[in-house]
Amino acid sequence: MTMIKQRFCAAALLMLILMILTGCRARTGGGRAPSGVVSRAPGGHAVGIGAGWTEERTGKEEIDEAGERTQENPGSSRKEYDEDAPAEMAAGEDRFVHSPGEGAGMPAADPDATDRVTRLDEGAGKTVTETVPVPEAEDLGVSEDAEEADSAMKYYKALLEDRLGTLFECKRVYVYWETPMARVTVHRTSPEHALILGAGAYDVSARLLEENLRVDDGWVKRKNPGVIVKAVESGILGEGVTDTSRARTALEEMVQRDGWKDISAVKGGKMLAISTQLLEAPQLITAAELALAKCAYPELFSDVDPDEAIDLMRMEAEGKAPEGIFYYMTEDE
């Protein structure tokens, strides 16, 4: 009995040695991969979802017991994949676009993720239109062939913002605004102050107290504004006015004040008389901003006519074109 056991053990040992020497090869279609098994190339990148898999590579195509065609991936370090599998993971099929300020800027695996990234579907059937400022449109390559603004006021507001947006801070001028009362300026809470800012300039009186708006000639000279604005009553400029003689006289009288001939605005010919009627409605304030911006930055607004803007916005708001002269610039002569 002992002899029989010894012979059986020897035969089993011999069979085991033969199997090791010849190698044991598993069938490629012998089993199905668990759901979600992903084959990986040596670099660690996902290349497919296995429909059939094996532990070792045979290097050739085989037919399994069910008659299904299977194929190994020669580049795979462990698992194999079926070329006829119903789905695969292919690099580059999904594009993720990072938007500024969205989360930590990390890609998200969830196709419905909205917190961190925006997932673009190139097969989408609908498109959207984004409106951006002109400088951004130029950077993004967006066409500027857009429809006209729905109002003249919006058009001129956009024009101001676009042109003035190109100015460096050091190029912005300081403005001295004088009310119809001589040597009385404006406060930083006034509509005139907001108008100055809307024209891309700074207000020299911004730090004055509201109860201390009367200034002397020396104060204005020390501020050395680049533009001087004189607001005048409607009898001097405004509805029904047909000549600029009284507006011109008002500016000439200011120039004669002590030390004013040395002010930059006077030497540069940048003085503006403006009707108080242009402060009475939002669309007229926009027209006043255009006039001031053209006086301050003539090179940026050489193609802009404030008179035309006044006509368009008055017609739009009131249904009639105005008759009169509403502003006067010294450089007009």
Domains in the chain, please, with CATH? 27-91 (no CATH), 94-122 (no CATH), 152-332 (3.40.50.1980)
Q: What burial class does residue 71 get, using C-beta atoms within 10 Å of its C-beta: 0-12 exposed, 13-18 middle, 19+ buried?
A: middle
The answer, as to whether pTM is greater than 0.85, is no
> What's the mean per-residue pLDDT of the chain?
73
User: Would you put residue 61 in left (φ > 0), alpha (ψ -120 to 50) or beta?
Assistant: beta
Pairing status of strand 271-275 against strand 227-232: parallel
Most confident of the following: 78-92, 298-312, 318-332: 298-312
Highest mean pLDDT among 31-35, 117-121, 319-323, 326-330: 326-330
Q: How far apart are CA 26 and CA 55, in angstroms?
A: 7
Question: Worst-scoring range by mean pLDDT, 19-23, 165-169, 234-238?
Answer: 19-23
Reading the block at residue 304, the tokens are: 């802009």
Residue type, 328: Y
Q: Which long-range contacts (CB under 8 A, 24 or more apart) does 302-307 make?
A: 304/159
Residue 86 reports pLDDT greater than 70: no
Q: Look at 112-121, 204-213, 223-232 and tell me which has the smallest mean pLDDT.
A: 112-121
Each residue of 117-148: pLDDT tens digit?
334 444 545 444 445 455 544 444 444 554 45
The Cα–Cα gap between 58 and 19 comes to 16
Q: What is the mean pLDDT of residues 314-329?
A: 87
Residue type, 268: G
